[in-house]
Structure 1
Amino acid sequence: MTTTTATTTSTSTATTTATSSASVTKTAAQQVLTSLDTGSGVDTASLVTALVQAQFAAKNASITSRNTALTAQISAAGTLKSTISNFATALGTLSTGGTLQTQPVSSNATALGVSAISGAKVGDLSTSVTVSALASAQGARSAAVADRTATIATGKLTLQLGSATYNSAGTAMTGFTAGSSAAVSIDVTDGSLNGIASAINAAKAGVTASIITDADGKAVLSLKGTTGTDQAFTLTADDSSSALSQFNVGPNSGMTLTGTAANAQLTVDGVAVQRSSNTISDLVSGVKLQLNAVTGGPVALSSTRPTSAVAQAVADFVDTYNQVYASAKGLTDASTGDLKSDTAAKTMVRSLQSLTTKTLVSNPGTNAPTTLAQIGVSTNRDGSLSVDTATLNKMMAAYPDEVEAMFAPTTGNAIGLSSTLNGISLAAASSVTGLGASTTRYTKAQTDLTDEQAKITTLSDAMSTRLTQQFSTMNSKVAAYKSTQTFLENQIKAWNSDK
C-alpha cells in the first residue's frame, strides 16, 4: 500500500520580511544618490527610475514575499490533500480485494462456486450442498425468414408469464397456468422481423428477443425468458388470422421451444430446497452460491482465514501511515510549516492521530478488540505508529472476526478503518471546511495581490511620467541658464581682452 508524500517548504518570518524591505529601500535610495552627477549635470532618466523604485520598493518587496508564501501554501495544501486521498484509496482497494476477509471454500468449485457476502462472517462455515438440477429458462425459436427487414404483419401481441408443463423432449408446451402478473400488450408497428424483436424488447416484460442468422443466411427469431418455474411465458397474436400468429408461443403454437422454465433443486445439510436462480444468497448464511453443474453428490463448504494477509496489511498500514503523518506534521510545523496556520490541515492531523483509539467494530464479541491500539498498534512519542507483533498475533487467534472487521470494506463495515480513513480524506478535500476551501482562499489572496501589484504599476508609471516631465522642464531652464552664463562669460572675456 503506497501513497505520495511531500517535503516541507519553509515560509519567511515577519522579521526577515521587514529586514528585506529595509534593504530594498536602502538600495533604492543609494541609486537615487548615485544618479546625481554634480560635475556633468543630472542624469534625468536614471534619477527618475531610481526615485520611482525608492517610492515603491518596500511595497513591491512585500507583495513578492507574500506571493511566494501563498504559492508555497497552495502547493502544500494540494500535496497534503492528494497524499491523504491516495492513502484512503490504497487502503480501500486493499479492503475490497477480498484478501483480508475469511473466504468460503467449495470442495468442487467447478460445479458449485462460493463467495462471501460483503460484511458477513463465514469463519465457522461447515455445510454440505448437493445440486440435483440447475435452474433453467424457457426459450423458443421461430421458423426461418428469408428477409429480416421485409414486412410480415403489424398488430398486437400479448405476453403472459406463469407456469407450464412440457413434453418429455422439452420442445413443446402441453399446458400453461397464468401467473399473478398482468398480461403485457405489445404493439408491433414495424412488421418486419427486426421490428417484432424490437417491440418485444421494448416491452421489458421478462422476455428477451434476438435475431439469429442460420447457415443458409436466413433469420430466426429467438425468445428467452428468465430462470425459474414461474417464469414460463406464452406469446399470442391478438388476431389469430394475422401472420403474427406464426410467432405464437404456448400449447399448440407455431414456435419450437428451445428450453423449459424450471427451478434449481438442491439439498442443503439434508434439506431439499428449490430456487428460481442459479445464483443463490439466501440458503447458506453469509455465502453466495453459484450453481454451475449438477454435482452428483455432496459438496463440502468450509472457510479459510487470511491470517498472514491481515498481519501484512497491518504492517503496511503502519508504514504508510508513518509516511503520511511525517508529511502532514512537517507541513503544519508551528515554526517552518507552510500550513502552520491552516485550520483544515491541523484538523486532518488530529484526525490521523486519533485513528488508533477510534472504535472500528460494531457489535463485537465479549472482551473482543474494537480499536487498533487493542490489537497492538501503538503511538510513539513522535506521533508515528508501531506494531506489537505478539499482541497482534494473539488477538487474531482469539478474535479473528473482529480483527478482520477492522479492515473490511465500507460496504461491510461502515465504521471500519477504510470507512474512517475515507471520511478523513473527504473532509480534507471539502471545499467548505477542508483543504479545498484553503486552496480557494489562498488562490483568492494571490489574485488580490495581482490586483494590488497592478495598481502599484499604474502609480509607478504615473509618477515616472510626472517626474520625467518635471525634470525635462528643469533641464530646459538649466540649459537656458547655462547658455546665458556662457554668453556673459564670453562677453566678459572680450571686454578684458580689449584693455
Structure 2
Amino acid sequence: MATSTGTISTSAGPLDVATLVSKLMGAEAKVLDPLTSQASSYNSLISAYGNLKNAVSTYQSALKGLTAASFAAQKASVANSGTGTTLTTDPFTADVNTDDSTKVLAQKIQSAGYPSSQQFTAGDSVAIKIGTNPPTFVTLQANATLAGVRDAINASKAGVTASIVTDGTGDHLVMESNTAGTANTIKVQANNSLAALAYDPSSSNPSTVTQTQAPRDATAAASGTYSVSVSQLAQAQKITSTGFAAGYSFDSGILAIKTGTGSTAIIKPATNTLAGVRDAINASDAGVSATIVSDGTAAHLVLTAKDSGSANSIRVTGTGSYAALTFDPSGKYSSPGVTTGQTYDAGTGALTLKVGNTTTNVALSGAGKTLQDVRDAINTANAGVTASITNDGTQDHLVLTPSGTGATSPVSLTGTGDFANLSGSTMGQLQAAQDAKLSIDGTTVTSPSNTVKDAISGVTLNLTKVTTAADNFSLTISNDTTGVTSTATTFVSAYNALAKAITSLTQQTPATTLGQAGTSSPLASESSVQSILTQLRSALLGNVPGGSGISSLTDIGIGFQKDGTLALDATKLSTATTKNFAGIANLFTSTATTNADGTTTGTNGILTNVQKLVDGFLADGGIIDTKTKGLQASLKINTDRQTVINTRLTSMQDQYTNQFNALNLTLASMNATQSYLTQQLANLPKASS
C-alpha cells in the first residue's frame, strides 16, 4: 500500500491519529489480499511453465541429436589375416557414411539479385512452409531492405535460416531448411513487393527463385568385406633450390610459378632477399608454400605443393637473377640455346658442375670442343646427372637429367669464357608428386589424396601406410547394432527425463495427518501439461507400416511402465537389430512425402512425429507460449488493479489523517474553552453565608 501524504499530529489533541489511521487502513487494505494471493499464484505458474519449457527444450535438443543415420548406423573394422609383421598399426582407417554422396542434405534456395538499395514495403508478407508443417507467415512491420527481410524471416522461426550472398548481379536472399532430407522441402508464397520471393516447384507459375542445393536423404554404405592393399601413398611435390650465401640478393627478373593445372602466378618480390622471395610466394596464389632451410653453410628455398597427387607438380620459371630458382616438373636442367656446331676453347674457359653440395670440374682441354664433347665429359664424370642434347628446331640445348626417380639435388652449371652461355641452374626435387595407389578386391584404385572417398560407396578410406606382400588386410562394413542400441537407449532416457520433470511439476501429495490439507505442485491442475504428455504418449504408441514386422516400439522392446516412463528390453532390441536392422530405421525415421495434389504418401516415423510435436510445443503460439502469455496478461491485469486500489487507499489514508487531525484540533479547542470556563467559574465571587 502506498504511503500517505497527510500530516499526522499526536500533540494537537487527545486522539492517537497514527494508530487510528493505521488500524483503519489495515482493515481497508484487506481488499488487496485476494489480488496478492492471485498474483502469487500467477507468478508460481509462470515460473513453473518456464521450468516446463526448459525440460521440453532439453528433450528437443536430445531428439535433434538422433538422426536417420544414427538409427541406421554402420561401422567399419579392419583385420589382417596375412603373415606380415612389419606394420604395428593398420595401414588405413575407414569412416562410414561420411562420403559426400551419402550425406543427408537440406534444401537451399536463392532469389534473383537485388540492388543494395532495394526497399520492400511495410505490410507485405511471405508464407514459408517446410514439408507438411503448416506455413509460417512473416509480415514486414516497416519498410525494409533485403537485410531486414532476412532478419524478419530468422526472427519468425519459420524452419529456415535466411542469409544474403552478393555477386555481380546483386544481393541474393538465401533460405536453407533447418531440417535436412527430402521430407523438408521449402515452399514460399509472397505478395506485393515481396512477390519475387515466391517458390513452389509444383506450381505452373514462373519463379526467379532457384534451388541451389537439392534435399537428399542419407544412404547406407555398401556393406560387405573387401580385400584392401596399399602400394603407394599420395604425396605432395617438394623442391629445393641450390644454396645461397647469407646476404645474397636478387637484382633483377621475376618468378612465374604454376602448380598442376592451376593458373600461373607472376611474382615480383618487394624485397630482393631470399626471405623476401619466400614471403612474396606465400602471399601469392601459386599453390605452394615456401620455407627457408639452412644446411649450416647456405640457405635453401623449399617449395611444397599445397595439394598432393601426380597432377599437382610444380613448375617454376625465373628470369634475371631469379633464373637460379627455375624448376621443370621433369627435374631436368636445359641450357640456353646454342648454335648447332658451335665449338669451345677449353684453354680460355672452364665448366663447373654442382649437384647438391658436390662440385665437379668438367674435364675438358684444348680448342675445338663441341657440345657433344661437353656432354660426354659430364657423363664420364659420373657427377649425379646424365647429359644429353636436344634441338628445338633452331638451336641445340644441353640437358642435364638428375639420376634416380625420387629425390634429386639442385643442379647448377657454371661456365666461364667460351662456356659462359651454358650457365644456369635448376632446383632439386626432395619429394616427387605422386598419387595414392591401392587395390580393392583386385581392382586398382588411384587417388590424388590419401583420403579416398569414392572407391567404396559411403566409405572414406584414410590411408596411412603401405602394406607388404605378406599382408592380407580386409575391411568389413557392417550394421552397427551396438550403435543403434545406444541410440535407442538415448531415445528412452531423453523421454524419461522429460516425464520425470513433468511429474515433479504436476505432483499432488496427500496429507499425512488427519484434518490437514495435502500439497500440490504448481501445474498439478493444468490440463495443458497433461495434454503435452497425452500427445507424446500417443505418438510413441503409434504404428508405422513398412518395417517388415517392426511397426511399433513394443516390437523392439520399448514400452511404457506403470509410472509413465519408458523401459527398454535389451534382449528384444538385440534380436530386432540382428534380424531386421532396416526395420528399426523405418520405425523411427521414415518420412511421409507430400504429392503435387496435396495428398501424402508413406508414414512419418515415431522420431519424426515426436520431433514435430516438441517443435510445436515450443513454437511461438504453441501450447507453452500461449499459456505463458495468457498468465502474463492476467498478471498484468492483476497488477493494474492493485495499482488502482493502492492509489485509492493512499487517498483514503490522506483523508482519514486530515479528518482526525481536524477532529483533534476541534477537541483541543473545546478542551481549551472548557478550561477557560472552569477557571472563570472558579474566579466568581462566592456567595456569603
TM-score scaled by length of structure 1: 0.69
Task: Note if contact 2:71-2:584 (Cα within 8 Å) is conserved in structure 1.
Answer: no
Q: Could you give the per-residue CA deviations for residues 122-163 of structure 1, whole angstroms, max 9, x where no partner exists?
A: 584211111111111112234556779x9756975433233x
**What is the CA distance between 1:291 and its match in structure 2?**
0.9
Partners of 1:194 and 1:459 in 2: how far apart?
85
Structural mapping, 1:80-479, within 5 Å: 80-90=52-62, 101-108=73-80, 110-118=90-98, 121=220, 124-143=223-242, 152=250, 157-162=255-260, 179=261, 181-186=262-267, 188-189=269-270, 191=272, 193=274, 195-211=276-292, 220-237=301-318, 240-241=319-320, 243-250=321-328, 251=331, 252=333, 254-296=426-468, 297-303=471-477, 305-307=479-481, 310-311=484-485, 314-315=488-489, 317-329=491-503, 331=505, 337-338=522-523, 348-357=532-541, 367-369=548-550, 371-380=552-561, 383-388=564-569, 391-403=572-584, 426-431=615-620, 433=622, 435=624, 457-479=646-668
Q: 1:328: Cα distance to partner? A: 2.2
Number of residues of Structure 1 aligned to a counterpart in Structure 2:
430
CA-CA distance at 1:226 after TM superposition = 0.8
Q: Between Structure 1 and Structure 2, whose CA radius of gyration is higher? A: 2
1:349, CA displacement in angstroms?
3.2
Secondary structure at the aligned position of 1:137 is classed as coil
Deviations 1:423-447 (A, max 9, x none): 6555554455464676566567657
What is the match of residue 13 of structure 1?
Answer: none
What SS does structure 2 have at the residue aligned with 1:68? helix
1:487 CA displacement: 2.4
- Provide the alpha-carbon RMSD of the alignment: 4.4
User: How far did 1:212 drift?
Assistant: 5.0
d(CA) in 2 for partners of 1:330 and 1:254?
A: 79
Q: What stretches of structure 1 of length at least 5 have no aligned partner?
A: 1-23, 25-39, 163-178, 409-414
Shift of 1:276: 1.4
After superposition, the Cα gap between the structure-2 partners of 1:277 and 1:329, relative to the gap in structure 1 and judged at 3 Å, is same
Alignment check: 8 A CA contact 1:72 1:338 kept? no
Which residue is 2:30 aligned to? 57
User: Which deviates further from its counterpart, 188-197 or 132-141?
Assistant: 188-197
List per-residue Cα deviations over 1:334-364 (Å, max 9, x = no partner).
9854385585x56643553244246789xx6
Displacement of 1:289 in angstroms is: 0.8
Instruction: Report deviation, 1:278.
Output: 0.9
- Tell me by how many angstroms 1:379 deviates: 3.5
Q: Is the 8 A contact 1:225 1:233 kept in 2?
A: no
8 A Cα contact 2:14 2:668, kept in partner = no
Change (3 A) 1:233 1:387: same
**Preserved contact between residue 561 and residue 567 of structure 2 (Cα < 8 Å):** yes
Structure 2 residue 15 is matched with structure 1 residue 42: yes
Q: How many angstroms apart in 2 are the aligned matches of 1:432 and 1:274?
A: 56
Deviations 1:24-53 (A, max 9, x none): 9xxxxxxxxxxxxxxx95321122233334
What is the CA distance between 1:65 and its match in structure 2? 2.3
Is this contact kept in 1: 2:305–2:312, CA < 8 A?
no
Question: What is the CA–CA distance in structure 1 between the aligned matches of 2:34 and 2:253, rounded to whole Å?
Answer: 83
Post-superposition Cα deviations, 1:367-415, rounded to whole Å, max 9, x if no partner, equal 152543432323356643234556434322211244367789xxxxxx8
Inter-partner Cα distance in structure 2 for 1:147 and 1:418: 69
Assess, with a 3 A threshold, how the Cα gap between structure 1 residues 143 and 79 changes in structure 2: closer, same or farther: farther
> Alignment partner of 2:306: what SS?
strand
- Contact map agreement 2:292 2:299 (CA 8 A) in 1: no
The separation in 1 between residues aligned to 2:489 and 2:28, in whole angstroms, is: 60
Greater CA drift, 419-428 or 377-386: 419-428
1:45-87 per-residue CA deviation (whole Å, 9 max, x = no partner) reads: 122233334334323x244323322332333233223323334
* Alpha-carbon separation, structure 1, partners of 2:26 and 2:575: 73
* Cα 1:461/1:186, change in 2 over 3 Å: farther
CA distance in 1, matches of 2:46, 2:252: 67
Q: Which has the higher helix share?
A: 1
**Counterpart in the other structure of 1:19:** none
Per the alignment, residue 188 of structure 2 pairs with none
- Structure 2: any 5+ residue segments left out of the alignment? 2-12, 81-88, 99-217, 334-424, 509-519, 590-603
Q: Which moved more, 1:367-376 or 1:474-483?
A: 367-376
- Specify the code of the residue in structure 2 equivalent to 1:47: L
Q: Tell whether the 8 Å contact from 1:154 to 1:190 is kept in structure 2 after alignment.
A: no
Could you tell me which amino acid in structure 2 is paired with residue 473 of structure 1? A
Could you tell which deviates more after superposition, 291-300 or 100-109?
100-109
Q: Distance in 2 between matches of 1:52 and 1:124?
A: 84
- Structure 2 residue aligned with 1:30: none
Aligned-residue sequence identity (percent) comes to 24
> Is the CA contact 2:540–2:606 (under 8 Å) kept in the aligned structure 1?
no
Q: Is the 8 A contact 2:246 2:298 kept in 1?
A: no
Q: 1:137 to 1:373 in 2, by over 3 A?
A: same
Contact 2:279–2:290, Cα closer than 8 Å, also in 1: yes
Distance 1:385 1:236, change over 3 A: same
Q: Which amino acid aligns with 2:258?
A: Q
Does 1:71 pair with 2:51?
A: no
Structure richer in strand, relative to its length: 2
| Higher deviation after alignment, 103-112 or 313-322 | 313-322
Indicate the larger mover: 50-59 or 86-95.
Answer: 86-95
Note closer, same or farther for the CA distance 1:42–1:197 as it changes in structure 2 (3 Å cut).
farther
Residues 107 and 405 from structure 1, CA distance in 2 versus in 1: closer, same or farther, beyond 3 angstroms?
Answer: farther
Answer with 479-488 or 449-458: which moved more: 449-458
Letter in structure 2 aligned against 1:236: T
State the distance in 2 between where 1:360 and 1:190 align: 71
Distance in structure 1 (CA, Å) of the matches to 2:35 and 2:540 = 43
Query: Deviations for 1:296-336, whole angstroms, at most 9, x for unmatched residues?
Result: 24411124655456446545643552342132255368985
Equivalent-residue separation in structure 1 for 2:246 and 2:686 (angstroms): 130
Opposite residue 307 of structure 2, the aligned amino acid is T
How far did 1:450 drift? Answer: 5.8
